[in-house]
Amino acid sequence: MATSKLFGAAEESNSPSESPPPYRRFGATLYCGDFLQVSAEWPSPTVIIVDGPYGVGSFPGDPVSHEALAEWYRPHVARWAERSLPETTLWFWNTEIGWASVHPVLVEHGWEYRSCHIWDKGVGHIAGNSNSKTLRRFPVVTEVCAQYVRKVKVGTNGSAMSVKEWVRSEWERSGLPLYQANAACGVKNAATRKYLTKCHLWYFPPPEAFESLARYANEHGNSQGRPYYSLDGTRPATAQEWARMRAKFHCDVGITNVWREPAVRGEERIKDAHKSVHMNQKPLRLLEQVIVATTDPGDVVWEPFGGLCSVAIAAANRGRECHSAEILPEYFAAARDRLACHATP
Ligand SMILES: C[S@@+](CC[C@H](N)C(=O)[O-])C[C@H]1O[C@@H](n2cnc3c(N)ncnc32)[C@H](O)[C@@H]1O
């Protein structure tokens, strides 16, 4: 089984026999160990929230340069791809150069870029900490969080094609003229224009429209080619099955791709004798925002690199099931205590 490249103390202190057992509360399960080893039995995710190495040497195991990141992440990216569904969204947190370095590996494994979000921590993040006389660049107060979805391929008999190509190809296979898609959907001309076009103005047919196209093609199309619009080769797909062929996205009004939020402080910051336990703790507000945007209650969230398992807390607050891995026993213990003390969501 593949394992991550480990560095320093983590390698020695993390033999399976020493690992504490998984900890469960509020639908969240925390595992102590390498994500690649502990995730084999996790249910497939609706969303994966990745906040792993940044290539800045900020925790044991974080490479000291972004140049090492692409190869570090490769086995992880492959595993996320292998275990994901057509509806899975991936959020990838990093520095801008760290993300740029890993992007080609994500694309290679079928992750399709959707958008890049800037976490702006504000000038307060560097207040009193930067000497403009010696700096050779402007102080950095941002991280990025890039959104990816699956590049979905459909088709039986080994003829995998994009969803867009398949919707048109099934209609063509039925022998019906393109304009008849409008009658199928009960509209004047929108169905042919939106769902069967080859151009960039194509729309993913909403589940009801898909069901109408499928019903019409199967009732009126050439009887020899049936079933049309089938995902399993035996019957037309249902509206519900079709809805799961793309990533979920609930777009709240007023949210843009710039997220202004100070670094975690106050009550939310986990401390040990006044010292932050983990330098990379993410704000719950931002994590809840991405969870709510790309899942529904009850869906499965993955947190491959837990730290203090902020994603698990955010998922619990929003009624989602979460599976988190943290490789370092010290951080795992802190995350477990955090979840154990968390007030009922
Ligand atoms: C950037 S931090 C995550 C911080 C977290 N988002 C939070 O809010 O606390 C990344 C964490 O991933 C852990 N890690 C690194 N490699 C890992 C692996 N292969 N499996 C599981 N955890 C890993 C590190 O020990 C570190 O605590």
d(CA 57, CA 64): 4
Residue 270's pLDDT band (cuts 50, 70, 90): very high
Euclidean distance between CA atoms 133 and 139, whole angstroms: 12
pLDDT number for residue 328: 96
Q: Pick the residue whose CA is nearest to atom 5 on ligand 1.
A: 307
Ranges 92-96, 128-132, 310-314: which has the least confidence: 128-132
- Residue 150 Cα to ligand 1 midpoint, Å, equals 24
**Residue 335's pLDDT band (cuts 50, 70, 90):** very high
**If you average pLDDT over residues 51-77, what whole number do you get?**
95
pLDDT above 70 coverage of the chain, percent: 94
Give me the phi and psi of 88, to 5 degrees please: -75, 135
Structure tokens at 190: 């929108």
Give residue limits of the domains in the chain: 3-17+24-152+247-341, 154-239
Name the residue with tokens 């009126």: 220
pLDDT at position 11, please? Answer: 38
For tokens 């169905």, name the residue: 191
Cα separation, 91 vs 275, whole angstroms: 29
CB within 8 Å of 147: residues ≥ 6 apart: 89, 90, 91, 92, 113, 114, 115, 116, 117, 290, 294
What would the 3-class secondary structure string for 30-71 be? EEECCHHHHCCCCCCCCEEEECCCCCCCCCCCCCCCHHHHHH
Residue 177 alpha carbon to ligand 1 centre in Å: 54
Q: Which residues line ligand 1 (CB under 6 A)?
A: 4, 34-35, 51-52, 59, 61, 278, 280-282, 305-308, 310, 325-328, 331
* Index of the ligand 1 atom closest to the CA of residue 303: 6
Report the top-level CATH class of 3-17+24-152+247-341.
alpha beta
Own/partner pairs, 248-256, CB within 8 angstroms, 24+ separation: 248/46, 248/87, 248/89, 248/294, 248/295, 248/296, 248/299, 249/89, 249/293, 249/294, 250/292, 250/293, 250/294, 251/293, 252/289, 252/292, 252/293, 255/289, 255/293
Q: What is the pLDDT of residues 222-242, one digit of tens each?
A: 999 999 999 999 999 999 999
- Alpha-carbon gap, residue 282 to 269, rounded angstroms: 9
Top pLDDT among 193 and 7 is at: 193
- Under 8 Å between Cβ of 290 and 261: no
Which of 223, 306, 344 lies closest to 31 in space, CA to CA? 306
Q: How far is the CA of 276 from the centre of ligand 1 (A)?
A: 15
CB neighbours of 191 closer than 8 A, spacing ≥ 6?
A: 181, 182, 184, 185, 205, 209, 213
- Does the pLDDT at position 186 exceed 60? yes
- What is the whole-number distance in angstroms between the Cα of residue 178 and the centre of ligand 1? 51
Least confident of 3-7, 72-76, 150-154, 297-301: 3-7
* For the chain, the helix, strand and coil percentages under 3-state DSSP, each to the nearest 5: 35, 15, 45
Q: What is the pTM of this model?
A: 0.93
Residue 273 predicted with pLDDT over 80 = yes
Mean per-residue pLDDT for 284-307? 98
User: Stretch 64-87: mean pLDDT, rounded?
Assistant: 97
Structure tokens at 311: 């994603």
User: Can you give the pLDDT at residue 344?
Assistant: 75
Q: Which residue among 72, 290, 305, 322 is best mutated to probe the pocket of ligand 1, counting the most ligand atoms within 8 A of its Cβ?
A: 305
Whole-number Å distance, alpha carbon 3 to ligand 1 midpoint, is 14
pLDDT for the residue 212: 98
For residue 76, the ligand 1 atom closest to its alpha carbon is 19
**Measured between alpha carbons, how far is 33 from 326 in angstroms, rounded to an integer?**
6
pLDDT at 14: 45
In the structure encoding, which two tokens stand for residue 304, read together? Answer: 């491959």
Question: From the CA of 267, how far away is ligand 1's center (Å)?
Answer: 21
Looking at residue 156, its pLDDT comes to 63
Q: Does 307 or 16 have the greater pLDDT score?
A: 307
Atom of ligand 1 nearest to the CA of 280: 4
Other Cβ atoms less than 10 A from the Cβ of 309: the count is 29
**Do 192 and 199 contact (CB within 8 A), yes or no?**
no
Confidence class for position 47, pLDDT limits 50, 70, 90: very high
| CA 313 to centroid of ligand 1, rounded, Å | 15
Which is the closest atom of ligand 1 to the Cα of 307? 27
Tokens 């660049």 -> residue: 137
Which among 118, 178, 109, 182 is positioned nearest to 149, based on CA atoms? 109
Q: How many CB atoms lie within 10 A of CB 318?
A: 21
How do residues 36-46 score in pLDDT, each as one tens digit? 999 999 999 99
Tell which CATH classification among 3.30.200, 1.10.260, 1.10.3470, 2.40.240 matches the domain 154-239. Answer: 1.10.260
Q: From the CA of 278, give the closest atom in ligand 1.
A: 9
Of 10-19, 53-62, 90-99, the poorest mean pLDDT is in: 10-19
Q: What is the per-residue pLDDT for 293?
A: 98
Tens of pLDDT, residues 98-121: 999 999 999 999 999 999 999 999
